[in-house]
Amino acid sequence: MNGHRVTLLGSQESRLRKWLTGHPEGHERGAILLLRKFDRPVVGLPGSIRFVVVDIIEMAGDWVIESTPISLRINMRKLPDVYFRCEQEGFELGFVHSHPSGHHAFSPKDDINEQNIMRGFAGSNGFDLYLVSMILSDGKWFARARHGAAPGQALPVRHVAVVGEHMQLHVASDGGALSDILRRQEAAFGKPFNKKLQSIRAVVVGAGGTGSPAATLLARSGVGELVIVDGDDLEETNLNRVRGYRAADVGKNKAVVLAKYINDLGLRVSVAPIGQYLDESAAAIDALSSADVVFGCTDDIAGRDLMNQATYYYALVYLDTGLTGKIDIGPDGDPYLRDHRGRVSCVLPEAGACLRCQRVVTDMKLKYEQAIRERPELAALDPATLEREYYLVGGGEQAPGVGPFTSVTADVAVAALMDLIKPFRDLPGELRRDNIWHDFVHMAVHSNDPLDDADCIYCRMHTILLKPENGYRLEMPSLGRL
């Protein structure tokens, strides 16, 4: 599916709806949007800029020269101050207004207004910039864009994503041909659902026991664009739990092989591999910034920490998976599963506890992981020795690679995405949407309560929510300059 994308936080969308529909006489209203542009290319995927709304300026008072239920005339002399702010803070410009009459299309008058704004913007700030235009009509969002070099040409926007407690997707069109593969899925969720999935760009980090089934299921479910990130080569011991690989693929990069497998399925998905580790790859971080949804299917804590940060910097939907367990030896001398569980964490920029508050990522775990990377022989030591002699807390947990358990966890993660787009779950009160564990031994489902950390910079203080990167990816020099 062609076109750019626009992302609004749930709180921003609520504010816009209240303003645009709140004129006491039912007149059109407007607002200025300041947007951050993420257009870092992903090799193998078509270009699609992701515009994320950062700030809103309501057009009140002397912004408005005249308004009626079918028209809005704005004071163009107010715009130079906005142009200056865009130049100083690196924003793209947006203009949004309401259509109280319920007219879903942009009007000829809208064309004229947009071109006038675009010409003023380009004349002030240069031609390599964009104007994003949106209308709210009948409760739905419609959008398009213009580039400074060709202000007369309207560029398609394939969806407006509203990321709040769920993920609302306002797609450009509900029509068009539908693959027979997705007919039953349409019967469950309705025709627009498949178009919404088709408009999504998903990134899967990790292509092993959970990542490979997640990626293949996303492709089969109709996701339009897919990026697979993994720096590992396939090992023979992986073959019991992965999807899309053959014995002949042992020794080859997982991301590259899995991408080829999915391409060969002949589905309507564009798939691109990045055969590098997330925390060592500028291309992989750039892919995160371009994504709508990220699936964390890696077993390293450093990678999870980066994805957790990216959720807030880039306003992403983040679904993280993990498995843990404990193997004991029975009276007969054979091992048995004393504990084995799979986790799916759903973290949204304004909803759900972050991975640090869920205790999935901790400084102790990061320190332990880094020490094992530098000195692999430490992994053989028992937890008591590690803590006593090396001041490391870790080890003791085991996640045996059992195919049905890894696959179930991946399936639940993809189902969680579907629930975000078209809610269908009726969760009991004791379950949290952001943290669900499946206990494979005791056949139970439960949630862990997060830390009550009022000072968390991620999910409570929102210190880094929509924060500028200040020249470095995620403000980290180790990830490279932008």
Which residues are CB-contacts of 150 (< 8 A; sequence separation ≥ 6)? none
Query: Would you place residue 388 in the very low, low, confident or very high pLDDT band (cuts 50, 70, 90)?
Result: low
Span of 101-115, 138-152, 252-266 with lowest mean pLDDT: 101-115
**pLDDT tens-place string over residues 329-385:** 889 988 888 889 999 999 999 999 999 999 999 999 999 888 888 888 877 777 777
Average pLDDT, the chain: 94
pLDDT at 389 over 80: no
CA distances from 182 to 130, 189, 232, 391, 478 (A): 35, 11, 32, 53, 43
Q: How far apart are the first and last CA of the chain?
A: 27
* Predicted local distance difference test score (pLDDT) of residue 396: 58
Residue 380 is predicted with a pLDDT of: 76
DSSP reduced 3-state for 244: coil
Residue 329: predicted pLDDT: 87
Question: In the prediction, which pLDDT does 337 show?
Answer: 86
Statement: residue 316 has pLDDT above 80: yes
For 146, what's the count of Cα atoms within 13 Å in the CB-facing half-sphere? 27
Residue 203 pLDDT: 98
Q: What is the pLDDT, as a whole number, of residue 464?
A: 98
| pLDDT at residue 456 tops 90 | yes
Question: 403-421 vs 191-198: helix axis angle to the nearest 10?
Answer: 110
Q: What is the mean pLDDT of residues 181-199?
A: 93
Per DSSP, the residues of 400-440 read ---HHHHHHHHHHHHHHHHHHHS------TT-BTTEEEEET
Amino acid 423: pLDDT: 97
Find where tokens 């068009």 sit. 176
- How far apart CA 7 and CA 287 sit, in angstroms, is 16
170, two tokens:
């306002």
Q: Over range 439-449, report the average pLDDT.
A: 96
**More confident of the two residues 384 and 94:** 94
What pLDDT was estimated at residue 256? 98
Residues 6+ apart with CB under 8 A from 77: none
The larger pLDDT score, comparing residue 422 to residue 374, is at: 422
- Check residues 385 and 130 and name the one with the higher pLDDT: 130
Region 82-108 average pLDDT: 94
pLDDT at residue 174 greater than cutoff 60:
no
Choosing among 3.30.70.20, 3.40.50.300, 3.40.140.10, 2.40.160.20, the CATH entry for 4-163 is 3.40.140.10
Average of per-residue pLDDT across 263-270 = 95
More confident site: 403 or 16: 16
Q: Is residue 257 scored above 60 in pLDDT?
A: yes
Report the CATH number of the 180-479 domain.
3.40.50.720
> Number of H helices and number of E strands within the chain?
12, 18
Q: Which pLDDT value is given to residue 392?
A: 53
Q: Does an H or E element contain 295, and which?
A: strand 293-296
| In contact, 28 and 68? CB cutoff 8 Å | yes
Outline which parts of the chain fall under CATH 3.40.50.720.
180-479
> Looking at the predicted structure, is the pLDDT value of residue 63 above 60?
yes
Residue span(s) of the chain under CATH 3.40.140.10 come to 4-163
